[in-house]
Amino acid sequence: MVDQRERALHEGVETLSDQDLLALVLGTGNTGQPVHAVAAGLLAAEGTLMQLARMTPHGLMLRKGLGAAKAARLSAAFELGRRAQFERLRIADNRLRGYEEVVEWARPRLATLDHEEVWLLALDGRNSLKSARRIAQGGCHGCALTTRDILGPALRDAATAIVLVHNHPSGDPQPSAEDIAMTRKVAAACNVVGLMLFDHVIIARGGASSLFEDVKEGTE
């Protein structure tokens, strides 16, 4: 453990393996099980670091070698990493010029979640991000959402255009028939109130997709 701390301080944390980093965050092991064995067991059980990061604190508590304190500490470390990524993207540029920028904004926030969330991004006339808010959250089978849930916040924020973003916990980014139907309904409602639907983007572990072309083809 001391060796890893020394390496982190003198060589940089980027030189440490995933197992070493987990061990540093956990701090201590358990009776008869050193901290590196606990870290190795976690990685082996979940398969990847991303899978581990998706777990809730309560889920982590069920893993061998983790109690409430270690589970909370590990969840906090993953959340700090996510927040640092959000802040980096916000400071770098808050303009969403197209699909790729939307994906870059949304991926660290939504790709690893095990439940579905729908986010509304409100843009001004320069496509700068005015606000970002979660407008729906559900289990692994989706969210219930109405056009009022979308247009209300957008109009209150005086948006010129909006982007819808939601995730697919299944890992498949391809839009469902329900996704396409809902997007067409929102696009029609936006036309009525003078808003532009910039895009509707789906984020998943397996990639991302845009519904913009699907909606356009359906209205031609």
The per-residue pLDDT for 116 is 92
Question: Please, what are the domains in the chain?
Answer: 2-84 (1.10.150.20), 95-219 (3.40.140.10)
Does residue 194 carry a pLDDT above 70? yes
Query: Which tens digits make up the pLDDT trace of 34-79?
Result: 888 888 888 888 877 888 888 888 888 888 778 888 888 888 988 8
Q: Which two tokens stand for residue 202?
A: 């789906």
Cβ 42 vs Cβ 65: under 8 Å: yes
Question: Angle 68-92/99-110 helices, nearest 10 degrees?
Answer: 170
Our CA angle for 205, 210, 216, nearest 5°, is 160
Whether the CA torsion 61, 65, 69, 70 is positive or negative: it is negative
Mean pLDDT throughout 80-93?
A: 66
Cβ 64 vs Cβ 42: under 8 Å: no
* pTM for this predicted structure: 0.59
